[in-house]
Amino acid sequence: MPKHVLLSGETLEYPRPTDAVAAYLARLSAAVGDPTIDEHRFIELVYSPNNPLLDPNIMPGRGTVTKAVLADPTYHVMQDLLGRKRVALGTLDMDKVRARYSLTVKEAAERAGVHESAIRQAIAAHRLSSVKDGTRHMLDPAQVDAFKPSTTGHAAPLEIVHGSVPGKRLFIKHDGNLKLAPGDWGELGPVPREARHSRLERWTKVAVIAGTKEDARFWELAPGSDVQTIGFEPFAVHGRFKVVRQINNTQQARQAFKDSEGARSSDVVLELSHPVQVVKRTKQSAG
DNA sequence: CACCAGTACCCCATTTGGCT
DNA sequence: AGCCAAATGGGGTACTGGTG
């Protein structure tokens, strides 16, 4: 299969073109270095009804990018040639573009509140653009912020700080896998009651109660698309969720939490290299 | 460490089949 | 024909293991 190195640094393989498509690609490549062709004219060439890659029958006098065309890597080669034309004309500064693409995949995943693989697959599917820094993909923070992953599939994990300190507390009930962050285990001593950092995976429903003994609030959460944070410092639930129910009345909040089903946040599995231990709720830590 | 491929899982929209 | 529930497929996610 023919290969094309994109401005982003990525190598794109595209299907062996027909004679007509190959000729059109050659024409566009020549136009990149042709000073008599300006950007407007180049765009006209790309979206011409004569471009054999596009569909000429949908819009009169213009080639249309259909779903099939969008899925064809050859179209992305043509778009890259447009980018190269802009670079040649000085209307696109790749140094400035590269400066804007400042996030690694890991940083982008943290920022978007999704798994790293979700970012990589979005890049592969051209739903997120990236530039290559050596072997690393780099992403634009603005695009990452605008990235709206589907809410289908597994729910994105929630980052949870729970426990109790004098005057404040936050507990949850859930149907997922709650794992305590290794840093909170210390030297195999008892899990500290205060501010335990945990990660909740594979969840569909979470009940949260937070506040003080006299002023408690209740939230019922379901997987959602927006990154949110609820709770009271230092306690928090952070991640992609939506609030399906909120109760600000202390008595009703306590009753709602009591009625909620699921494992309690005090029953956490330790995420460590040594054998997994389950920490059971005790009278002392029940609060 | 970063990337990639494969797998399992989930939700939603559409299709299919049975019932009224 | 219309309605409803089950089955199916597509699109998307997280996770794991292998590779360079």
pLDDT tens digits, residue range A36-45?
Answer: 999 999 999 9
State, as a whole number of angstroms, the distance between the CA of A99 and the C1' of C19. 30
User: Is the CB of A278 within 7 Å of strand C?
Assistant: no
User: Is the CB of A202 within 7 Å of strand C?
Assistant: yes
Q: Measure the CA angle with vertex A282, ends A277 and A286; round to 5°.
A: 120
User: Is the CB of A136 within 7 Å of strand C?
Assistant: no
Chain A residues 153-212, Cβ below 7 A from strand B:
153-154, 202, 204
Q: What is the pLDDT of residue A138?
A: 77
Instruction: Tell me the pLDDT tens digit for each residue of A78-96.
Output: 888 998 899 899 988 877 8
The protein footprint on chain C, as nucleotides within 7 A of a CB, is 10-16
Least confident of A23-27, A66-70, A72-76, A270-274: A270-274
User: Is the CB of A152 within 7 Å of strand C?
Assistant: yes
Nucleotide nearest to A124 in CA–C1' terms:
B4
pLDDT band at A19 (very low <50, low <70, confident <90, very high): very high
Token output for A260: 């909620």
User: Is the CB of A106 within 7 Å of strand C?
Assistant: no
Closest amino acid to nucleotide B4 (CA–C1'): A120
Instruction: Tell me the pLDDT tens digit for each residue of A159-171.
Output: 787 888 777 888 8
Work out the burial of residue A134: count CB atoms within 10 Å of its CB; fewer than 13 is exposed, 13-18 middle, 19 or more buried.
exposed
Least confident of A132-146, A183-197, A219-233: A183-197
User: Is the CB of A11 within 7 Å of strand B?
Assistant: no
Q: What are all long-range contacts of A266-275, with beta carbons under 8 Å and residues at least 24 apart? A: A266/A171, A267/A178, A268/A178, A268/A179, A268/A180, A268/A191, A268/A196, A268/A198, A269/A177, A269/A178, A269/A179, A269/A180, A270/A179, A270/A180, A270/A182, A270/A185, A271/A179, A271/A180, A271/A181, A271/A182, A271/A199, A272/A182, A272/A185
State, as a whole number of angstroms, the distance between the CA of A31 and the C1' of C18. 43
